[in-house]
Amino acid sequence: MYIAIAGNIGAGKTTLTNMLAKYYGWEPRFESVGFNPYLDDYYKDIKRWSFSMEIYFLQQRMKDLNAVMQSNHTIIQDRSIFEGVHVFVRNNYERGDLSDREYTTYMELFNTMQEMMVLPNLMIYLRKSVPMLIGQIQKRGRECEQTMQIDYLQGLNERYEDFIYHQYEGRVLVIESDEMDFENNPEDFRKSINRIDAQLFGLFSEEHFQ
């Protein structure tokens, strides 16, 4: 089984991925943030480094997806290849940080690779407002993220809404996470577990949690 955690920068994906992996005994997989050779340069000059960084992410996520498809046990992934393309790459293109030529080249490559891809059994979308995202980004203190512009985060949020509600064809569980604290509030985590169980194992109907 393949589970993906989706959400904007600072939405809490890594925390929830770790907690769900521990609770269910799933194998976690994470984005190559700490080892990304383009990330620092990207935040300093997004237009200059967008194409290089997105190509790097694409090949890393394809490697991860290949590992998922070859695995015989459940994997939970912090951000999937699909949102990387339809949210982050699309956002950079609409901002003018990717040229028409770069975007066309990227999408041709992705569309070729897409024939070998599988959708997650469940995508869990952590929906969080921009002010809450900013608070979380400041709290965790990654130096490369501290100069991130508000309109960049807002653009990503808008692309996420379009992706989740209008483009993505797989099963999605939306968690409104502004008031959620999975790490420090056991009740918040329990409620999320119950909703995940309902989606994956049919233990309850989703209406039970409305």
- Catalytic-labelled residue, pool 41, 45, 78, 178: 78
State how far the Cα of 15 lies from the Cα of 40, in Å rounded to an integer.
22
Beta strands in the chain (DSSP E): 2-7, 27-29, 75-78, 122-127, 172-176
Task: Find where tokens 């990717």 sit.
Answer: 98
- Compute the radius of gyration of the chain from its Cα atoms: 17
Q: Supply 186's token pair.
A: 């056991």
Answer yes or no: 78 catalytic. Answer: yes
Strands 122-127 and 75-78: unpaired
Please tell me the number of Cα atoms within 13 Å of 78 on its side-chain side: 20
User: Annotated catalytic sites, by residue?
Assistant: 78
